[in-house]
Structure 1
Amino acid sequence: MVTWAKELAEVHAKHVLTPWAVQKRASGPMIVRGEGSFLYDSEGNRYLDLSAGLVAVNLGHGKEQVVQAIQQQAARLCYASPVFFHDQRALLAQGLSQCAPWSEGARVFFTTGGAEANEDAIKMARMITGRQKILSLYRSFHGSTLGAGTLTGEYRRFAGEPGIPGVVHFWGPYLYRSPFFSANEGEESERALRHLELVLLHEDPSRVAAILLEPVVGSNGVLVPPAGYLSGVRELCRRHGILLILDEVMTGFGRLGATFGADRFEVVPDMITFAKGVTSAYVPLGGVLVREGLAATFDEQPLWCGHTYSGHPLAMAAGLGALAAYRDEGLFERAGRIEEWLQRGLRELAKQSPLVGDVRGLGAFFGIELVRSRQTREPLSLWHKPLSQEMGWLQQQLLGRGVYAFCKHNVILVAPPLTITEEELQGGLEQLGETLRRLWEEPSFDLRRG
């Protein structure tokens, strides 16, 4: 077994380009199986998936309902051109439209992932409004393709610059490191909205087609907006005839304790982009939910969006299987219970570790922000660079203790499958707490000097 695992690792290193990595330093377990909340590697080691992959495997691994749906569809029809209608696409579009927050109804355009969904959403916004500018946040991630990369507001966009024209970034609320020098959430919300209004004024709101936001900023820190912020953005959009697009690639499908983040924050956007959780990441699938009043625009003019795999039958079947599983097991709401476990467990962890500067989140989506000093709030890893040695060490030590956690910048994303048990989650948090203790005491980093 060990020999086979070593050979596989050598083949991987020789032939695979690993995303976001210096290739000579890329390493990791060779995962060969997943079941429930756990992954298993080629040497038989087990890892608790504390971040649901990349905040994607909402149903856990190996959910029979989804696997069977894929198998049955594979035996019947694996591909049909998007110009043809087919049953699975019609049924999934219907199911997703019924999940949407619009009383007027909705239509769905399918893509293969979140980046394509965001690009198609802004193309639609430009076609519908006749305007060109798109506003999105700094400290955001919307995908790594050229257009989605331009929408992104952090360092992963740099390789694609200058990118597409017409995208303007602005600052959103982040009380722990407030760009507005706010003392509380009320001030942060008010000042962030005032800043956005000022940006709109100087960009000319009549030229702005859409504002694109993550309801909770995901991989850039799990930044939960203060009360009133999203509704304030909605009002600014309404006032200026700007479309509001919510990027729910991470926050959709029960992650925040509701079907979509729009429901949790009681904000009604004009479009919702989705991916990841729609199939629990079993098959690549994304898309754009468009409220009916806007979708009807394309009844009289062409929709200039299209992909070879739009509405792919296997992806549609996986999506239908996933929707059935979410509903049958009440998983759109279950993150409310997980939120209680995480709040309790992470509060205790913050008490124990001086490295924890802030803990924040909603539902089954929390971030632990690590700092060198609570007084100075100096981050353990800089935001404009890859992971620091300390954060890389932390991630590797966690793997050695049987826990996978997605780390970005100086933040650990705790976003387990919605099917995780309290006992499984508690075990993962205990291992995380012990790893933080060891990091604090590790002499090669000398973090005690702060």
Structure 2
Amino acid sequence: MNHHAETDSLYYPVSKFKMTRGEGIYLYDDSGREYIDCASATFNLSLGYSNKAVLSAMRSQLDELIHITSNFQSNPVNTLASKLLAVSPPNMRKVHPKVCGGSVANEGAIKMAQHATGRTEVFSLFRSHLGQTMMMTSMSGNSFRRAPFSNIYPGTIQVPDPYCFRCFYGRTPGNCGYTCVDKIDDFLEYASNGRVAAIIVEPISGNGGNIVPPRGYFQKLRTFCDDHDIILIFDEIQTGIGRTGYMFAAEYFGVEPDAITSAKGLGGTGAQIAAIITNERLAGLPSHHHSFTYGSNLLAAAAANATLDIVSQPEFLANVRATGAYILERLDDMQRRYRSIVDVRGVGLMIGFELATADGAPAVAQTNALADAAMKYGLILRTSRYGHGNVLKIRPPLILTMDEAETICDRLETLFECEEAP
């Protein structure tokens, strides 16, 4: 059967590659060829493919209970709540596990903020992703995502992100005074209805281009939120569970948000799990306003507990920081030698590098071409903004060894040597 006949029944397009197995950071196609997955599937395999400890925990749970209604207690879910609070910022008090994906975790955190404040509007950032539900699509920082769906969710205002390399306000780091925070006051005064419940931000933008805010940005944003009684929500769907070399990016940036959303890497090796972690103020949203059938799934909770046991170990997180630092150092060296690489940024294994044309314009076509060509060199790379962006992302599983980090960089070098446009 040819590829087209096999995939005709699928609603969405797929690549020509058919994958058959995975182990660690490696994925294998039906011809047996090996690829290093620098996207950790969809940035969710924090422990890589087929992690034995997580699979063992799931098998043990499989023999007891796979699922019950979340109205009942269970050891896996009770344990998960305790473990998440233990690795969260100290102001966190409650865990809402009755969600089964990042989109609905973000939506739930916003509902909590609206319920707690009695206000409705929400600020999000340019280029933000946030999720795929209609509410999250409407809060996206990309117009192409909202274009087909007019008036899907009112009361969302996008504000400039802390994209220092291409600052919206034309400032440079060190002398800007965090203009991108100060100017939110103008949006509050002139663009909102004056009843803003929350600001939701990705500490490091995931799909938006791996934008790392400058030190001090979040302290300024925290102060702004406190001054205006606005809830600060951290979307840590991608940055959480060790991705930055810290359990949550909130710790790296030294700030306490009012809520953190977690998913993706929480499942370790592919289990579907998510949670909303909140301070005391956001407690109290009635369950009927936000709960999902497969939230608090016991099999997924068992996987998450095993994942947290592994990732929270200091030596594990230290390795994430070390391998990430090595890759960043190699990319900095590549930037000096390849004209198209204009900015390298990242924390831990949340890494991206930006490509531009000779006149400094975003090199979107070249970015996509390099990502496509990378498969020839045994690398799976993802680009920013669903192919509309000019950033190549490197986010391999967190189990990455130093030897594997070196192999990734060597393959990147070969990719650019052979494929970079003259």
Normalization by structure 2: what TM-score? 0.94
* Distance in 2 (alpha carbons) for counterparts of 1:11 and 1:81: 40
* Distance in 1 (alpha carbons) for counterparts of 2:200 and 2:319: 27
Structure 1 segment 373-412 matched on structure 2, within 5 A = 373=358, 376-381=359-364, 388=365, 390-408=366-384, 409-412=389-392
Identity score, percent: 29
Which residue is 2:336 aligned to?
351
* Distance in 2 (alpha carbons) for counterparts of 1:431 and 1:152: 33
Q: 2:155 aligns with which of 144, 166, 178?
A: 166
One-letter amino acid matched to 1:9 = H
Is the contact between residue 189 and residue 228 of structure 1 (CA under 8 Å) also seen in structure 2?
A: no
Is the contact between residue 97 and residue 108 of structure 1 (CA under 8 Å) also seen in structure 2?
A: no
3-state SS of paired residue (1:251): coil
One-letter amino acid matched to 1:420 = L
1:292 maps onto 2:277 in alignment: no
* Distance in 2 (alpha carbons) for counterparts of 1:333 and 1:160: 44
Q: What is the CA deviation profile of residues 15-67 of structure 1, one whole-angstrom value per residue up to 9, with x for unaligned ones?
A: 2233xxxx3xx424211111111111111010001222222211122111101
Which residue is 1:339 aligned to?
324
Q: Which moved more, 1:49-58 or 1:265-274?
A: 49-58
* Distance in 2 (alpha carbons) for counterparts of 1:17 and 1:318: 30
Q: 1:227 aligns with which of 215, 221, 226?
A: 215
Is the contact between residue 407 and residue 413 of structure 1 (CA under 8 Å) also seen in structure 2?
A: yes
* Distance in 1 (alpha carbons) for counterparts of 2:255 and 2:49: 31
* Distance in 1 (alpha carbons) for counterparts of 2:383 and 2:186: 34
Is the contact between residue 335 and residue 418 of structure 1 (CA under 8 Å) also seen in structure 2?
A: yes
Q: From the superposition, tell whether residues 33 and 104 of structure 1 become closer, same or farther in structure 2 (CA, over 3 Å).
A: closer
Q: From the superposition, tell whether residues 90 and 235 of structure 1 become closer, same or farther in structure 2 (CA, over 3 Å).
A: same
Aligned-residue CA RMSD (Å): 1.9
Per the TM alignment, residue 302 of structure 1 is displaced from its structure 2 partner at its CA by 5.5
1:429 maps onto 2:409 in alignment: yes
Q: What is the CA deviation profile of residues 107-162 of structure 1, one whole-angstrom value per residue up to 9, with x for unaligned ones?
A: 33331111111111111111111100000001110011101111111132333332
* Distance in 2 (alpha carbons) for counterparts of 1:178 and 1:141: 19
Per the TM alignment, residue 303 of structure 1 is displaced from its structure 2 partner at its CA by 5.5
Per the TM alignment, residue 203 of structure 1 is displaced from its structure 2 partner at its CA by 4.3
Q: From the superposition, tell whether residues 65 and 126 of structure 1 become closer, same or farther in structure 2 (CA, over 3 Å).
A: same
Is the contact between residue 141 and residue 158 of structure 2 (CA under 8 Å) also seen in structure 1?
A: yes
* Distance in 1 (alpha carbons) for counterparts of 2:379 and 2:61: 34
Q: How many residues align?
A: 417
* Distance in 1 (alpha carbons) for counterparts of 2:92 and 2:380: 42
Unaligned regions of 5+ residues in structure 2, if any?
none
Per the TM alignment, residue 230 of structure 1 is displaced from its structure 2 partner at its CA by 0.9
Structure 1 segment 149-188 matched on structure 2, within 5 A = 149-154=137-142, 155-182=144-171, 184-188=172-176
Q: What is the CA deviation profile of residues 194-238 of structure 1, one whole-angstrom value per residue up to 9, with x for unaligned ones?
A: 211221222468501000000111111110001211111110110
* Distance in 2 (alpha carbons) for counterparts of 1:329 and 1:175: 31
* Distance in 2 (alpha carbons) for counterparts of 1:242 and 1:434: 48
Normalization by structure 1: what TM-score? 0.88
Is the contact between residue 38 and residue 49 of structure 1 (CA under 8 Å) also seen in structure 2?
A: yes
Q: From the superposition, tell whether residues 392 and 302 of structure 1 become closer, same or farther in structure 2 (CA, over 3 Å).
A: closer
3-state SS of paired residue (2:22): strand
3-state SS of paired residue (2:174): helix
